[in-house]
Structure 1
Amino acid sequence: MNQKRIFITGGASGLGRALAERYAREGWRVCIADIHDARGQEALAALRGQGHYLHCDVRKEEDLQAVADWLQQNWGGVDIVVNNAGVAIGGAITDVPLSDWQWIIDINLLGVVRGCKVFTPLFRRQGGGRFVNISSMAGLVHAPMMAAYNATKAGVVAVSETLRVELERDRIAVSVVCPAFFRTHLTETLRASNPEVARITHKLVNKARHGADEIAELVYRGVQRGDFHILTHTEGKAAWILKRLAPFSLYARALSQSTRRMMGRTPPDQASSTSHE
């Protein structure tokens, strides 16, 4: 029972699975949860006896509570909870329906809130633990045509910063992860306002320089160091520093120029959204 334990939502693919495999290599017990059971079983097989899979929809508090109960009963608790499950939306403010806003908020933001709410009492009973909340550079630097995604990821940063102080006396630590583009399965659930938005999003994600395994390694190291902000991309760090220190007009001009270069076209009304997970 001295073996360390980690629970990861959205653990069947992408960054969730990469983190599961990274921690398993270090000898951790890994509990992965997802709504895609077939993929979950595939991910579990890759852990080679180091893990367990549970069906869990982060939109349902009772699902997360069932996981917490299982971990308490079978593993005596959990040391790290990774709130990773997420989806993406791209499009202009006039084009994205409110139903899509509700969908992404329920998963990306409230999924993290539910995870923290459910597992905080367990952490308190056992005398500590750590939340690792997966946000995005979109939570710190807000590109155009991404309002819904940006809002949810910024919310994850805000919740994480709040809990970093609120839970400190309970010996509960918090990290928030803010990666930029990397290759992942997130675009499979992408809701885009038009085909051009979808095309560019897929291109930017699928041709990203880094893969999920590389990001997982950087997250693992950041957690080991006890970092609060874990920023995995050098260009993301630079953009965040510029936003914090430069006059907003200068930052906005730089963001506009960067967006036009990234999209490969000049007219701002034809820019599109991208996913940062």
Structure 2
Amino acid sequence: MTAAPPPRRVLITGGASGLGAALAARYAARGDRVLVTDRADTADVPAGATYRRLDITAEDDWTAARAAVRSEWGGLDVLVNNAGIAAGGRIDRLSGEHWRRVLDVNVLGAVTGCRTFAPLFKEQGAGHLVNVASAAGLVHSPAMTSYDAGKAAVVALSESLRWELGPWGVAVSVVCPSFFRTNLAASLDDDDPMMGQVATRLIARSRLGADEIAARVVRAVDAGTFLVLPDRDARIAAWTKRLARPLYDRQMRAMGARIRRAEQQPAPDRTEERSA
């Protein structure tokens, strides 16, 4: 029988809801010390966990969080860069502001977390960076350019840091789930409503919820796994692209063709609805 790992000191961003909240509950339930962070001033957290406001786009918030865990816990064992926003849309429908917002949150938020805690982990000679990306970081569907580009950057960041920080005893994991049931769709903007509706439907009909994904992520992190594909759909997509590229290319072309057909359809006539 495998012994349970010793209690760990864990900081989770975006921990007020969705996968972050599920991860916080998993870690707290087994006796780890958990600091849940999010942008709100207050939030409900699991028994045994504490809460701190942290905007991942604000460097001062990160610096203050590092000072807090150093003062209160004497260090940190696991940093989970989970916070992020959903995004999608056809390239000609996405504004420059959309791109800046998505990359600021989904890429630079994780980068700043890693920059902030890497010195502490190197000083300790131990630590684990867990960056939550997406299957979209490995498999790049049409009309998902901003989200795909951001999540691919997180995968690249994670792989680079794996080799850079490894000599100091620092582990790195990157988590790449496919769609699962969560409230992530609430962060979708309206730059391209058609693609937003598609993403919302895919999330809603997913077989797995955040709790199931969280359980698999915690086990993989405990095992020191670098690339975490916590669900079957993510594994199939990643391996299809790698091992069956012609099939993957056909699937992507078919998706692009469906998007073109949808654009060519006339907009629904709302005249009767307005006059009713």
Aligned position for 1:219: 217
Equivalent residue letter for 1:252: D
For residue 120 of structure 2, what is the aligned residue in structure 1? 122
Q: What letter corresponds to residue 84 of structure 2 in structure 1?
A: G
Is contact 1:92-1:193 (8 Å) kept? no
How far does the alpha carbon of each residue in 1:220-272 deviate from its partner, in whole angstroms, 9 at most, with x for none? 1111111000001212212211212334x542112334x48xxxx9454538x
Deviation, structure 1 residue 181: 0.5
Which amino acid letter does the alignment assign opposite residue 262 of structure 2? Answer: Q
Letter of the 1:173 partner, please give it: A
Describe the superposition over 1:44-98 as per-residue Cα deviations: whole angstroms up to 9, x where unpaired.
Answer: 2xx21x1111111110111111101000000111100000000022211111001
Counting only pairs closer than 5 Å after superposition, residues 1-277 of structure 1 correspond to structure 2 as 3-38=7-42, 40=43, 42=44, 44=45, 47-48=46-47, 50-247=48-245, 249-257=246-254, 259=255, 266=258, 268-270=260-262
Mapped partners of 1:126, 1:254: distance in 2: 47
TM-score, length basis structure 1:
0.89
* Number of aligned residue pairs: 258
Once the two structures are superposed, residues 126-147 of structure 1 have per-residue CA deviations (whole angstroms, 9 ceiling, x without a partner) of 2210000000000000011000
Structure 2 unpaired stretches of 5+? 1-5, 264-276
Higher relative contact order (CA 8 A, sep 6+): 1
- For the pair shown, which has the larger CA radius of gyration, 1 or 2? 2
Residue 197 of structure 1 aligns to which amino acid in structure 2? M
Amino acid across the alignment from 1:4: R
Separation in 1, partners of 2:209, 2:237 = 21
Where 1:12 maps in the other structure, the secondary structure is: coil
The answer to whether the Cα contact below 8 Å between 1:139 and 1:151 also exists between their aligned partners in 2 is: yes
Question: Hey, what's the Cα distance between the residues in 1 that align with 2:117 and 2:7?
Answer: 19
Q: Render the CA deviation track for 1:104-146: whole Å, top value 9, x for unaligned.
A: 1011001110000000011112221000000000000001100
Q: Percent identity?
A: 44
Ranges of 4+ aligned residues in structure 1 off by more than 4 Å: none
Rounded to whole Å, the distance in 1 between the matches of 2:206 and 2:234 is 14
**C-alpha distance in structure 2 between counterparts of 1:269 and 1:32, whole Å:** 44
Name the CA distance, whole Å, in 2 between partners of 1:267 and 1:59: 33
Compute the RMSD of aligned alpha carbons: 1.7
Report the TM-score, using the length of structure 2 for normalisation. Answer: 0.89
In structure 2, give the amino acid aligned to 1:55.
Answer: R
